[in-house]
Amino acid sequence: MRTLTYRDALREAIREEMQRDERVFILGEDIAGYGGTYAVSKGLFEEFGEKRVRDTPLAEEVITGAAIGAALGGLRPIIELMTINFSLLASDQIVNQAAKFRYMFGGQPEMPLVIRMPGGGGAQRGAQHSQSLESWYAHIPGLKVVMPATPYDAKGMLKAAVRDPDPVLFIEHELLYNIKGEVPDEDVEYTVPLNRGEVKRQGQHVTIVTYSRMLHVTLQAAEDLAKEGIEAEVIDLRSIRPIDIDLLIDSVKKTNRVIIAQEGWKYYGTGQGLAALIYEYAFDYMDAPIQHVTSADVPMPYSKVLERAALPNKNDIVNAAKAIVPAALVRA
Amino acid sequence: MAISNVTLAGLTRTQLLETHYKMALLRRFEEKAAEEYTRGKIAGFMHLYIGQEAVGVGCITAMRPDDKVLSSYREHGQAILKGMDPGVVMAELFGKITGCSKGKGGSMHMWSNELGLLGGNAIVAAQLPIAAGIALAMQYQGLDTIVVCFFGDGAVDEGAFHEALNLASIWKLPVIFICENNQYSMGMAVEKAWAVDSLLPRAAAYNMPYEQVDGMDVIQVYEAAKRAVEHTRSGQGPLLLEIKTYRFRGHSMTDPAYYRTREEEQQWRTTRDPIGIFEKKLLDLDLATQAEFDENDARAIQAAEDAAEYADNSPDPTLDELYTDVMVDNSTALSFRYERN
């Protein structure tokens, strides 16, 4: 094992897949000469050349549409959209085209397409650059939506996404690129499935289900809770469409209490969708109402103090746990 | 009497008669589809190609069978011209399992990998970026296959038009963009929607060759398309054709066409019918006889009847089709786990 940043893990995944399969290529804004807005593709242009590392004009709709066409034409494109906020300019191609073709054309087209893009807030980038829009896309049948939180999962899931025959939205987080984590040595080939969550911490008092950057906040909260005797089980969903509901339900049956921690807004999103599934499949096991830790229901403010107040934090999770885990249970 | 070794636009007499048959087939097929729509056998939106037949016939005759076609929601004609059995097209209109998209697509969503017919798109201009991408795949793999992308004058008003033409030009992609300018985007007259009166300045903005063609003359369309195909297949990049035509029916089956006069429609139908114009040309040149046209027409009527009969006799999709084809590995679809019995 080595220690790599999330950014370097992504780049390794892309490089290895490009070396393995001539059909794999990347396209996006400023990914070649500039090296990628978040430096994920740095060096790939020098290694693979302009045929396979393609700078595009600032035109999200045609970047996405062209990648859809390239995938239909037998290639395996990886798009980098500069941020998920800009994906709205490509939303017709993602929602009306990529998600629909397989079904609408009776199972004939195959579209092995990966759309990489970072989302999330926390860097004072303001209302138009800080959104968590994964729930919009996770609503759509025909798409896969994955959000790995660690360098290990980022590399393994990106490799799996490139090999997957369906369109995959691979959503990163602007504040994850510099985090470090263990990744197998370069000669160790591995992938991480796109439909499995993972228990990142075992516990018996409460299940905290989360994904992406909030995993790290949740793990810190779990440490704090442990000091007070509350053992939280932390589930990293990794993929939100499809969703590993069995893993979640098994945990709920053990802990009987659930906190959902996500960076996106509360209403009509992934968290509320999860809550509905938990009530549907594990209502009889629930001993307390589901707690939901999210961003404030406002456009993201720029001000440092306001942004910090808008984002969910460690204390929000700790307080949510204390609200539903009785002291008597902890002492027992 | 016709002389068999005379040609027109390099087409033999047999090919010219086949061209006539194709136009008749599209016309009769769609008349039949309209009839079945009125009878309630076909539902949803249906957009007829009647009046525009010379565009599809002229262009697709100039292509190679392995070239790819993308189109809008007015694509029954292109599907048949790419070689799809009219019965399979009609079955899709009827929503039957024997339709090209298993009855899951309908009038606006025809597809065949084998024939290179890649949709049928019901979002205006969405097929343009995708066509550029398929052309990229052809170029990337070193193939000399080209992509032909049909769209209406309304698609020119969408942002996707601009993005796709620009990308195709800077990457010299092997794609021909064909605007079927039928003068109305639904009810909006093209002269009200466009700041310019042709696509010439648009093509210039993308540094792309351009030609305007009379879309009611199948020979002119064929010759222009042939030039375009040669240009693009030889690696010289994309090209924009503006083919001026007119749809004789409403935008869709439910359009009473209040936005134009009956006199205008009548004028086009009586003086500019592409089938009539082609017949006159062949007769004037002694290349065919009225009897041959009548025979083609009878054959087309029969093909349309057969298509409708095939569609009518085909079974509906079984209910388990509801949950198939969402994903390639359908066990990764949420519905597979939670909804399917």
Show residues of chain A in contact with B101, CB under 8 Å: 104-106, 108
Least confident of A70-74, A141-145, A211-215, B2-6: B2-6
Q: A263 CA to chain B: closest CA distance, Å?
A: 23
Spans in chain B with pLDDT lower than 70:
1-6, 340-341
Closest residue to A62, CB basis, from B132, B329, B334: B132
Q: Which residue of B has its CA nearest to A63?
A: B129
How many Å apart are CA B238 and CA A215, to the nearest integer? 48
ipTM value > 0.85: yes
The answer to whether A2-183 and A198-331 have equal CATH topology is: yes
CB contacts, 8 Å: A59 with chain B: 163, 166-167
Best mutation target, B134, B173, B177, B322, to test chain A (most A CBs within 10 A): B134
Q: CA A64, CA A97: separation in Å to the nearest integer? A: 10
Average confidence (pLDDT) over A266-272? 97
The minimum CA-CA distance between B117 and chain A, rounded to whole Å, is: 11
Closest CB from A62, A66, A106 relative to B102: A106
pLDDT, position B24: 98
* Shortest Cα distance, chain B CAs vs residue A178, angstroms: 31
Of A56, A74, A144, Cβ closest to residue B332: A144
CATH code at A2-183: 3.40.50.970
pLDDT of residue A176: 98
Task: Read off the pLDDT of each residue in A212-226 and give the average, rounded to a whole number.
Answer: 98
Domains and CATH numbers, chain B: 13-338 (3.40.50.970)
Tell if the CB–CB gap between A65 and B328 is shorter than 8 Å. no
The answer to whether B191 faces chain A, any CB pair under 8 Å, is: no
What's the mean pLDDT in A203-214?
A: 98
What's the CA gap between B203 and B228, in Å, rounded?
14
Concatenated DSSP letters of A100-162: THHHHTTT------EEEEEE---SS--GGG----HHHHHTSTT-EEE---SHHHHHHHHHHHH
Report residue A225 as tokens. Answer: 């809770």
Put the strands of the sheet holding A114-119 in their side by side order.
Answer: A53-55, A24-28, A76-80, A114-119, A168-173, A144-146, A239-241
pLDDT for res B281:
97
Minimum Cα–Cα distance from A194: chain B residue: B332
> Is residue B317 within 8 angstroms of chain A, CB to CB?
no
- What does the buried/exposed string (b/e) look like for B20-53 if buried means 16 or more CB atoms within 10 Å of the residue's CB? bbbbbbbbbbbbbbbebbeeebbeeebbbbbbbb
pLDDT, tens digit, 9 for 90 and up, residues A23-72 = 999 999 999 999 999 999 999 999 999 999 999 999 999 999 999 999 99
Place A153 in a pLDDT band, splitting at 50, 70 and 90: very high
**Whole-angstrom Cα distance, residue B192 to residue B153?**
12
Touching A: B residues 93-122, CB under 8 Å:
99-105, 109, 111-113, 118-121
Is B167 close to A59, i.e. CB distance below 8 A?
yes
CB neighbourhood size of B272 (10 A): 17
Q: What is the mean pLDDT of residues A151-162?
A: 98
Taking the C-alpha atoms of residue B107 and residue A135, their distance in angstroms, rounded to an integer, is: 31
Cβ B138–A241 below 8 Å, yes or no?
no
Q: Is the CB of A142 less than 8 angstroms away from the CB of B100?
A: no
Minimal Cβ distance to B132: which of A66, A194, A195: A66
Q: Tell me the DSSP string of B228-284.
A: HHHHIIIII--EEEEEE---SS-SSTT---TTS-HHHHHHHHHH--HHHHHHHHHHH
- The residue whose two tokens read 């076909």 is B42
Where do the structural domains in chain A lie, given as residue ranges? 2-183, 198-331
pLDDT, averaged across chain A: 97
Please report residues of B whose CB lies closer than 8 A to that of A166. Answer: 327-329, 332
- HEC assignment per residue over B52-108: CHHHHHHHHHCCCCCCEEEECCCCHHHHHHCCCCHHHHHHHHCCCCCCCCCCCCCCC
Q: Which of A62, A74, A105 sits opposite B109 (nearest CB)?
A: A105
Contacting residues of B for A61, CB less than 8 Å apart: 129, 159-160, 163
* CA angle, B265 then B266 then B269, to 5°: 90
Measured between alpha carbons, how far is residue B301 from residues A1, B23, B27, B74, B91 in Å?
72, 12, 9, 21, 17
Residue from the list B135, B159, B338 with its beta carbon closest to the beta carbon of A61? B159
Compute the count of residue pairs across chains A and B with CB atoms less than 8 Å apart. Answer: 154
Residue B7 is predicted with a pLDDT of: 82
Active site residues of A: 60, 129
pLDDT, average across residues A129-153? 98
3-state helix, strand, coil in chain A (%, to 5): 40, 20, 40
Domain A198-331, what fold? Rossmann fold (3.40.50)
Contacts of B337 in chain A (CB under 8 A): 242, 245
**If contacts are CB pairs under 8 Å, which of residues 137-166 in chain B contact chain A?**
137-138, 140-141, 159-160, 163-164, 166
